[in-house]
Amino acid sequence: MSDSNTPTARQKTALAPDLRTMPDRAARAWTERMAVRHLGGADYAIDSQSGATYVVDAREGTCTCPDATIRGETCKHQRRVALEITSRRVPPPGKRRADCAACGAETFVPEASRPPALCEACNLDSGDVIRDRETGDRLVVAAVTDRRADEVTIEAADTTVADYPTNEGYPADDLVVEVRYLADAASGHSRTYSFPHSRLQRVDDAALVDA
């Protein structure tokens, strides 16, 4: 997992623009060589072509350069930060770069979020209704843990989640998700069960399969 909160030196680069109809400041946001680093929150440091380093607050719309502080302009640094956020070269405000703990894809997750980091496709929230791919049962997500199927023991069966017979074929290093049966949840039973992440199917996806 890479951590965008650790500012690392980045090579100054120009982005590829179509400049003909652009105002000067907008054009320079594209063409000048700048390096943008996310400092955390909404703050970004910009090493400018001139050699100076400025800090942009992308939420407040401020920059420490003279153009912004003295002339009150939306400067090329603010524009460049917006461009780099849009093109996913840096995390948006309040997010950090992470590798999804389920599929490995690079993603942005809230800075304050606890592990596991999950991409949009793999993310399950507590309370989501999902489907067991094996039985079709409807389940409710209690929690996505950061533990792997071969690390979690199912006490009643004296085996790990990975070795549990109906979990055969799912990865041993699958994340373990704690779920409740929808029928139990409705009747007030609070018992949770441990499932491998990839055995669970979102119901919006499941509805398409059923149709």
- Cβ atoms within 10 A of the Cβ of 28, count? 21
The rounded distance, in Å, linking the Cα atoms of 59 and 48 is: 20
Residues near Zn ion (CB under 5 A): 54, 63, 65, 68, 75, 77, 100, 102-103, 105, 119, 122
> Given the structure tokens 């910009």, which residue do they identify?
46
Structure tokens at 97: 């770069």
- Closest separation in Å from C-beta 75 to Zn ion: 3
- Closest separation in Å from C-beta 24 to Zn ion: 14
Identify whether the C-beta of residue 77 lies closer than 8 Å to the C-beta of residue 89. Answer: no
3-state secondary structure of 175: strand
CB of 35 or CB of 185, closer to Zn ion:
35
Identify whether the C-beta of residue 189 lies closer than 8 Å to the C-beta of residue 139. Answer: no
CB of 36 or CB of 100, closer to Zn ion:
100
CA dihedral 41, 29, 66, 95 (to 10 degrees): 0
- Closest separation in Å from C-beta 153 to Zn ion: 25
CB of 98 or CB of 140, closer to Zn ion:
98
CB of 58 or CB of 68, closer to Zn ion:
68
- Closest separation in Å from C-beta 98 to Zn ion: 10
